[in-house]
Structure 1
Amino acid sequence: MILTSARLTIRPFRPEDAPALADYRSDPDVARYQSWDAPFPLDAATRMIAEMTDPAAPGWFQYAIDHEGEVVGDVGVGLHDNLLQAAIGFTLAPAHQGRGYATEAVQRMLAHLFTDRGLRRMSAECDARNTRSVRLLTRLGFRQEGHRVEHTWAKGEWTDDLLFGLLARDFPASAR
């Protein structure tokens, strides 16, 4: 599956993408609100890419965000066992932040999941301090459904989690 938007291609990772994946995931600012630690070794990136085999199967699948042949980030889709709902996550390399790429990639993925694959609901979760992700999710129509105070022990501290949801019927028609 390959998706395109105005400026981006969203596609499965290829083995040759491992160095770029390891590079931006090794940035401490990128890893700050994520589940992995920096540095993110090349062998971990290589293994991660090799283990992703079926985007239609339940579980997480990471897609590369490609801009003009360069991997600039990723969009992850965690498909539920019922194949009717999923969680979404996203990461962008620091050099490519602030240009709307994450919004464009997530919006295109949502359009695919709701329109082409018929999913009914998407959810997202983020660290409450990650204001850029909160703004992106809100901009795309997600509503905040929960706030779990000091819920996650991550990187030596308790963090608050914000929970978001978006139903297919609430996804803006203009974004499809």
Structure 2
Amino acid sequence: MTILDTDRLIIRRFKAEDWRDLHEYLSRENVVKYEPYGVLTEKESREEALRRSSDSAFWAVCLKETGKMIGNLYFQEQEPKRFQTWVLGYVFHSDYQGNGYAGEACRRLLKYGYETLEIRRVIAMCNPENQRSWKLLERLNFRREGHSLQTGYFKYDKDGNPIWHDTFLYALLRTEWGE
């Protein structure tokens, strides 16, 4: 099992026992606002942690000092595999945002991807309203490749109408990678 670390973090595969820490942040509206799901109940958090424990795309991000999981990364190879393109995503507990943890974790996972897995290209998408997310991608040297309008919806307004969202597309090639 691959375990990655930084000065402050351990980045590892999910365990079913992570459900409490997962619930602590996925039960907050301000954390899931731009995600394709709403706040999770305790039961849903248990089920999600169990599901993620068998899904190699999900990585738990834990504080090295305490072992507490403060967020997660998503890193998944895209089809067709011969294109060597992966997608990166991240969600972090709001109490731990603004401390550089997401950038630190993403940099370490990207290093693993480019240097060990020999990935050619990594893409990431975010809602243009999620300024913290696209600013993080730009700090990681991702290049904005597109702005698509009304690409989909995950949530509804009070009248049951879909709330359409736009999407920024970012990418970073291995040849552009420079820790």
* Counterparts of 1:127 and 1:34, CA distance in 2: 9
Deviations 1:104-162, CA, capped at 9 Å, x for gaps: 00010000001011111100000110000101001111101110112222312111110
Residue of structure 2 in register with 1:58 after alignment: none
Where structure 2 has 5 or more consecutive residues not aligned to the other structure, the ranges are 157-162
Deviations 1:75-116, CA, capped at 9 Å, x for gaps: 111212417221010011011010000000001000000101
Q: Say whether residues 1:70 and 2:94 are aligned partners.
A: no
Residue of structure 2 in register with 1:136 after alignment: 136
Where structure 1 has 5 or more consecutive residues not aligned to the other structure, the ranges are 56-60
Shift of residue 51, structure 1, vs aligned partner: 2.9
* Counterparts of 1:54 and 1:30, CA distance in 2: 21
Paired AA for residue 77 in structure 1: F
Residue of structure 1 in register with 2:85 after alignment: 85
Paired AA for residue 155 in structure 2: K
Residue of structure 2 in register with 1:23 after alignment: 24
* Counterparts of 2:77 and 2:20, CA distance in 1: 26
* Counterparts of 2:148 and 2:55, CA distance in 1: 32
* TM-score calculated relative to the size of structure 2: 0.88
Paired AA for residue 18 in structure 2: D
Would you say the 8 A contact 2:17–2:49 is kept in 1? Answer: no
Shift of residue 54, structure 1, vs aligned partner: 5.6
Paired AA for residue 136 in structure 2: L
Shift of residue 9, structure 1, vs aligned partner: 0.5
Deviations 1:4-54, CA, capped at 9 Å, x for gaps: 01110000111211111022011000010111111x123333333333436
Paired AA for residue 168 in structure 1: R
Moved over 3 A (4+): none
Q: Secondary structure at the match of 2:109?
A: helix
* Counterparts of 2:150 and 2:8, CA distance in 1: 38
Determine what percentage of the aligned residue pairs are the same residue. 31
Summarize the alignment of residues 21-170 of structure 1 with structure 2, pairs less than 5 Å apart.
21-38=22-39, 40-52=40-52, 53=54, 55=56, 61-67=57-63, 68=65, 69-81=67-79, 82=81, 84-156=84-156, 157-170=163-176
Q: Secondary structure at the match of 1:118?
A: coil
